[in-house]
Amino acid sequence: MAVSPFKIHIPDSELDLLRRKLDLARLPTSIGSENWGEDNGVTVEKMTELVNFWKGEYDWRKEEQRLNSFPQFKTNISIDGFGSLDVHFMHSKSTKKNAIPLLFIHGWPGSFMEIYKAVSDLNEAGFDVVSPSLPGYGFSSYPEKGGFKHEQHATVLNEVMLRLGYNTYVVQGGDWGSMIARTIAIMYPENVKAVHVNMEIVIQKPDFDKEPQYSEFEKASLERAKWFRETQMAYFMIQSAKPRTLGFAMQDSPFGMLAWMADKVFIWTDSYPWTPTELITWTLLHYFPGPTTGFQMYRENNPAVAGPSLQMKSFVKQPTGVSVFPKELGIVPRSWAETKANIVFWEEHDSGGHFAAYEKPKELAQDLIKFFQSVWQI
């Protein structure tokens, strides 16, 4: 039951190995034209710029110090059929009395630090923020046995909150986090008082007696989701089918991992001005601990599994809020979302993409404050 303080410290030997790998990195030259845009992946020019910055200017120790400025902990949790896991999390508490416990759940390729830009606003508004590394991500371990699905993630995260003394709490999630947030609410209704997501997924269009009237925003959202489904799912397919095989390449090549990461975050955000330092740090939070188990979630929760899963076939009864950003990947109209959850808050934003907490921290924080404060005492 112990909760122990934790600080990130990558050994010098690992950093030395990383430098040697970067010095030996081979870049392709036969496709190095700026005419090759995002439809063919990240350009050679961009990757050359990034790797030169990485070798000459990037400072992991400085980033490590910044990450460690947030209070972090680990605890060991046993899961039936899977043994025990060391679970890492950030826990930033408000100075206000009777603070609202908020569980923030990231997805891929994010991390526990995806929420860090919004933490101060949330703390000041009276929220205790708990942001775990999902099992298999960052500094949380992963079971050797297959079959670790959203239900097991939900069990782990609920236990974290109970272990911290939060018998009731609220949940926010995007990407995989949105699905796990729904799962926790369904499995632990006595603990979860409200749910907020910035990606509400409905796999199949609901059967309506009368077709809803869609706003221009909703029409654009459906087109965005169609574009993503039809042209951008190759990563999902390989991570679902062969996560271990892909993991060998990414585990061994920091440069390859950076390219895989950059390709996604450039396209999934709404013209967010990624700096080289941000891109490299996001990459290293997967590369240092090893990216394979993060990929594994796609195999355990692929569409064949996710369709009939608990979170997709069940209705979330708790008050549910949704913040909708126009460059999100899986956006559905409110009428669709209302068939899956008790939607009482719906906010559409003018800009923003998949990583809402990171791209639009002020906007998301204000939505969370407004929504959760309105339902916490109900």
Query: Does 298 qualify as catalytic in the annotation?
Result: yes
Judged by phi (left if over 0) then psi (alpha if -120 to 50, else beta), residue 89 lies in beta
Q: Strand 83-92 to strand 127-132: parallel, antiparallel, or no bridges (unpaired)?
A: antiparallel
Q: Is 175 a catalytic residue?
A: yes
Cα dihedral sign, 123-127-130-131: negative
Contact 137, 205 (CB under 8 A): no
> Are the C-beta atoms of residues 261 and 279 closer than 8 Å to each other?
yes
| Residue in 88, 106, 150, 175 annotated catalytic | 175
CB 347 within 8 A of CB 339: no
| DSSP 8-class letter at 57 | T
Residue 216 CB neighbours (<10 A): 7
Name the burial class of residue 302, with classes exposed (0-12), middle (13-18) and buried (19+) by CB atoms within 10 angstroms of its CB.
middle
Which residue's entry shows tokens 């950059």?
262
- The span from the CA of 72 to the CA of 224, in Å, is 37
d(CA 165, CA 246): 39
C-alpha to C-alpha distance for 41 and 263, rounded to whole angstroms: 6
Is 354 part of the annotated catalytic residue set? Answer: yes
DSSP per-residue string spanning 89-151: EEEE--SSTTPEEEEEE--TT--GGGGHHHHHHHHHTTEEEEEEPPTTSTT----SSS---HH
Contact 370, 286 (CB under 8 A): no
Catalytic residue among 166, 287, 298, 358: 298
119's CB contacts (< 8 A; 6+ apart) are 70, 92, 129
Contact in structure between 352 and 366 (CB atoms under 8 Å): no
How does strand 3-6 pair with strand 72-79?
A: antiparallel
Prior bond of 243 cis (ω within 30°): no
Helix H or strand E segment including 170:
strand 169-173
The catalytic position among 188, 286, 354, 367 is 354
Catalytic positions are 175, 298, 354
